[in-house]
Structure 1
Amino acid sequence: MSTPREVATGRYVALGRLRWVRGVIDQLGLLPVLLIGLLLFFSIASPNFFTRTNLSTILTQALFLIIVSVAQTLVLLTGGFDLSMGSSIALVSIVVGLQLLDHPDAPLTGLVIATLAAIAVATGIGALNGLFVSVFRVPPFIVTLAMMTAVSGVALKVSRGVPVFGLPGYFSSTLYTGKVLGIPVPWFVMVLVLLVMYLLLHWTRFGRYWYAIGSNAEAARLSGIAVRFYLFLAYAIAGVLVGVTGLLLTARVGSGEPTLGASFPLESIAAAVLGGVSIRGGEGNIFGAALGAVFLVMLRNGMDIMGISTYTQLIITGALLVVAVIIDNWVHRER
């Protein structure tokens, strides 16, 4: 039989969990409703939308954006954002492709070197962003915009503007169509990223410090938090996730692409903001960003099926980002 103290403790833990769930629901807002509405609309508009094959395609396409959106969320929580993620993915793709061409008949060596190269390149770019933002206090917009331009130029120069073809077959068969415990590798990696980042943000001091910095960097500094270090760390960890995404995307397309991931910066910010992550920093969660990524991919997929042009889709995506920011500003005014 439980003692009164054990009962009280259990109620306290349950209440804490309930408050966390309610907080997530509050941050998601109308997004789940919009997602269901979008699903119903496209299902009625086209009989080809609500099929097992198409829904599987949507989720497969979304998982890459989910990982990048999680990386973007980490930076947004600190009060910044990263416009260089797309060009980082492109450079990772080229570097991975060139490394694999050097090991056509050595699967283990090729996979290890390609993975290390992908993570090293993207982490280095993220670390440089973090260095300029945290140490030299250059605004994130300027830093990441400049980095986006420079890294894109490097990717085009290294590849001479053409894709790297002829990658070994073991690369895609392992990292895209391969399975771990019966789960496709990209899905396994995506779930692992969500789990690790959730634990990092909600069960360690790193997460508490990032939220504190995004809410009020000066107050965080006065309370003893090493603001510069944790800002640098946020951009570097985001770089790791971008490197993983670049590696998986290269395995999917089967070649090193100098323009791969070009739309990810805008889409990741839009997904995060739609999912309740504040553009001002200090508020949001990775699950909202993941749901926002699914929403955007489902929207694009439905528009493709309905024959809406790519240019119109870009206009709609940009408009969604503006609307999301307006809603974010309105919510903060109300609070």
Structure 2
Amino acid sequence: MNSTATLSSGNRTASSGDALDLVLRIGLLPILMAIVIVGTSLMSPYFLGWMNIVNILRMASFLAIIACGQALVIIAGGFDLSVGAVVALASVVTAKAMAAAASAIGGPDIVAIVIGIGAGLGSGLAVGLFNGICVSRLKVSGFVVTLGTMSATAGIGLLLTNGIPVYGMPKAFVQAIGRSQFLGFPLAIYIALAVILVMVFVQRRTLFGRYVYAIGGNLDAAVVSGVSIRPHLVGTYVVSGGLAALVGILLTALVGSGQASLGGDAMMLQSIAAAVIGGVSLRGGIGRVEIVAVAALFLTILGNALNLLHIDSRIQPIFLGLIMVLAVALDEFSRRRTSRV
């Protein structure tokens, strides 16, 4: 009875204490997005063109999917630095498995496509499972574990390809998943919306989602309350790895080949940035994936605007860094405010 009350009290304290932080970030994102959209549209006639809008939404979809998994891990009190490398590994594994199946079976393309997608998703889930087991059972820092798996996973991808793109996939895979559109929008956008809705449901309506908040918000209270820490921690990393693999498969279909250079450090950093800017506390226990998805859209719009305005690519990371610092400052301000209360 007392332990349950402790857990509930801890959750209420975290929620009420960070209310101002959440309100600031929810209000700040649309304002910043409006400034970027209005300013860029006035300076570039191509920004509001239909093709550019579709491109922004497509790229934002990739980032939103991977950021949702990253956010879940951070909410649980961890980090997943391996997501970019998983994107590349899933791309290579998907392309190789699909090409090999198409060559060996020689039957309907759907069989090779299913085998390739299954292999790609499996590779991401396997990396996530390894990360989760190391973090939960060996008590190793998630930052250190995923830093190691990032290097190892990237190396495996390069070893499998020798740095050469993998071709030979069925054309139906590229046409149906990478190039097809419905109501004028690419399939990746609908997949991203589905992922976000599922993640929102998991966070708000399932015990898994509630326990993840409890673990990240107050680990001791969660243990005393009888929450199974290990399976839920492992689950967050598995979800993150699976979503990163999904992005790798979608990018493979888009570019038409498996490449060990997809994803990389840029996507890892952007996924963390989207989570932090979207209100996920680096100390765990706080964050909503729907706001993270909006942050992913904002970052994509910002990157697109900087490219259209011909801002030097070496300068662009400065903008991302300043925004991240602002988000972390808001988080720290909220924490101090909570401690005073």
TM-score of the two chains, using structure 2 as the length reference = 0.88
Q: Which residue of 2 aligns with 1:34?
A: 32
What aligned pairs does 1:179-258 form with structure 2 within 5 A after superposition?
184-258=186-260
| CA drift at 1:22 | 10
| CA drift at 1:315 | 2.9
| CA drift at 1:26 | 5.5
- 1:276 partnered with 2:279: yes
TM-score of the two chains, using structure 1 as the length reference = 0.89
| CA drift at 1:65 | 0.3
User: Residues 329, 29 of structure 1: CA spacing in aligned structure 2 closer, same or farther, 3 A cutoff?
Assistant: farther
Q: Which residue of 2 aligns with 1:11?
A: none
CA–CA distance in structure 2, aligned partners of residues 307 and 96 of structure 1:
35
Between the aligned residues of both structures, percent identity stands at: 38
Query: Once the two structures are superposed, what CA deviation does each residue of 1:8-44 show, in whole Å capped at 9, x if it has no partner?
Result: xxxxxxxxxxxxx999756524111111111111112
Letter in 2 for 1:64: F
- 1:49 partnered with 2:47: yes
Whether the 8 Å contact between 1:87 and 1:148 is mirrored in structure 2 is: yes
Q: Aligned match of 2:59 in 44, 58, 61? A: 61
What aligned pairs does 1:115-134 form with structure 2 within 5 A after superposition?
115-134=117-136
Whether the 8 Å contact between 1:89 and 1:260 is mirrored in structure 2 is: yes
Query: Once the two structures are superposed, what CA deviation does each residue of 1:109-165 show, in whole Å capped at 9, x if it has no partner?
Result: 111001111111000001111011111110111001011011111111111112113
Q: Which residue of 2 aligns with 1:289?
A: 292
CA–CA distance in structure 2, aligned partners of residues 99 and 193 of structure 1:
25
Q: Which residue of 2 aligns with 1:264?
A: 267
Query: Once the two structures are superposed, what CA deviation does each residue of 1:296-320 show, in whole Å capped at 9, x if it has no partner?
Result: 1111100101111222112322332
CA–CA distance in structure 2, aligned partners of residues 207 and 132 of structure 1:
21
Q: Which residue of 2 aligns with 1:7?
A: none
CA–CA distance in structure 1, aligned partners of residues 22 and 192 of structure 2:
20
Query: What stretches of structure 1 of length at least 5 have no aligned partner?
Result: 1-20
| CA drift at 1:188 | 2.1
| CA drift at 1:256 | 0.7
What aligned pairs does 1:54-203 form with structure 2 within 5 A after superposition?
54-102=52-100, 103=102, 106-178=108-180, 184-203=186-205
Whether the 8 Å contact between 2:21 and 2:331 is mirrored in structure 1 is: no
**SS in structure 2 at match of 1:259:** coil
CA–CA distance in structure 2, aligned partners of residues 155 and 195 of structure 1:
31
Query: What stretches of structure 2 of length at least 5 have no aligned partner?
Result: 1-18
